[in-house]
């Protein structure tokens, strides 16, 4: 009976040892998976940082473009005023030309 009991104890010990080894292997695999996830996470952080820098550069470019558009709008307004002035002057010139012709007759 002692040998049956000792065989049973050995069998339980071997089973426990095998289960423990399996759990250790699962835990090692989980840690490796976690390490890969962290590494991917750090790369995504780098990608986000790069995207933020690009966005900031584009924002600056948009500000410059907006400033240039405002300058162009001001130039257009000034050109419209000058064109109106030229139109008024041409009308006045025609009137003066008519007056000179009238005086010459």
pLDDT digits (tens, 9 = 90+) for 74-103: 999 999 999 999 999 999 999 889 998 988
pLDDT at 4: 64
Structure token digits, residue 21 = 């080894």
Secondary structure letter of residue 74 according to DSSP: H
The answer, yes or no, to whether residue 2 has pLDDT greater than 60, is no
- Could you write out the three-class secondary structure of 5-60? HHHHHHHHHHHHHHHHHHHHHHHHHHHHHHHHHHHHHHHHHHHHHHHHHHHHHHHH
pTM of the model: 0.47
pLDDT tens-digit profile of 25-82? 999 999 999 888 887 777 777 888 888 899 888 998 999 999 999 999 999 999 999 9
Least confident of 2-6, 7-11, 50-54: 2-6
């Amino acid at each position: 009976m002692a040998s049956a009991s000792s065989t049973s104890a050995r069998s339980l010990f071997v089973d426990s040892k095998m289960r423990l080894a399996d759990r250790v292997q699962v835990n090692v695999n989980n840690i490796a998976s976690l390490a890969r996830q962290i590494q991917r996470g750090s790369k995504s952080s780098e990608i986000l940082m790069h995207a933020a820098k690009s966005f900031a550069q584009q924002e600056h470019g948009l500000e410059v473009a907006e400033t240039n558009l405002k300058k162009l709008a001001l130039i257009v307004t000034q050109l419209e005023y000058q064109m109106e002035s030229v139109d008024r002057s041409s009308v006045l010139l025609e009137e003066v030309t008519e007056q000179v012709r009238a005086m010459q007759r």
